[in-house]
Amino acid sequence: MTNLIAITRKETKAYFSTPSAYIVGAMFLVLTGVFFVFDVSKPFAEAGVRGLSDWSSFFIVFLAPLITMKLLAEEQKLGTLELLLTSPVREWEVVLGKYIASLLMLLAIQSVTFYYVFIVYFFGNPDTGPVISAYLGLILHGAAALAIGMLGSSLSGNQIISAVVATAILLIFSFVNRVSSLVDGAAAEFINALSMNAKLLDFSRGVIDLFNVVYFLSIVAIFLFLSIRSLETRRWR
């Protein structure tokens, strides 16, 4: 447990003391801000955060891998993984500690978007339920995306490759529902069940379905497990 805390603390400090996280975060906020403005300045715009949350979850597909790419890839490249793993530390402590730090970073970036929520409340009278469910969806989606990013980072010592692999996996999970029309019956249902986008739509509409929550948490668990395994097999190569 102390190892976990030490690793989380170190990585969090690294995020907030290096410029790359700020640059990536700023890019994300500019993009979501632009689309937020488009969305609320339409005629008869709805007072809500739907536009914001839809665009945020789209950009998270690109943001999350940028946040996680260095976590394990850099350790492999610099060789610091060798010192980390020859210390009395377990692989899961390394992966989980770093994952928590990336989650804190993402939450910090996302919390800046509360600014838009205040604007919406200031100028309009939005329905609070969907606002809360939309943010819950964003956090869960972000958590899942980071776990996938973690796996990408564990696979290569090259940060670019790590980010590209993770983005590719995320895009597949996002848009797999487009394929479901090609098949029918149970296969189509299964493909739809895998898709992230359909679930995010539910959250932004104000629906909190337990299945959807479990879905995202399962993705977190599965991909963190795979990351730990990937780190363990690194020793055996």
> Could you list the residues that contact other proteins (CB under 8 A)?
2-3, 6-7, 10, 13-14, 17-18, 78-90, 235-236
Least CB distance from residue 124 to other proteins, whole Å?
A: 44
For other proteins, give the closer residue by CB, 42 or 235.
235
Least Cβ distance, residue 18 to other proteins (angstroms) = 6
Burial level of 217, CB count in 10 A (0-12/13-18/19+)?
Answer: middle
- The CA distance from 161 to 173, in Å, is 18
CB of 106 to other proteins, least distance (A): 20
CB of 5 to other proteins, least distance (A): 8
Cβ contacts of residue 214 below 8 Å, gap of 6+? none
* CB of 15 or CB of 223, closer to other proteins: 15
By C-beta, is 10 or 205 nearer to other proteins?
10
Q: How far is the CB of 115 from other proteins (least distance, A)?
A: 29
61 contacts 67 by C-beta, under 8 angstroms = no
Closer residue to other proteins in complex, CB, 82/209 = 82
Give the nearer residue to other proteins in terms of CB position, either 157 or 206: 157
Q: Supply 166's token pair.
A: 């993770």
Q: How far apart are alpha carbons 29 and 50 in whole angstroms?
A: 16
Measure the CA–CA gap between 78 and 69, rounded to whole angstroms.
14
Residue pair 146/169 in contact by the 8 Å Cβ criterion: no
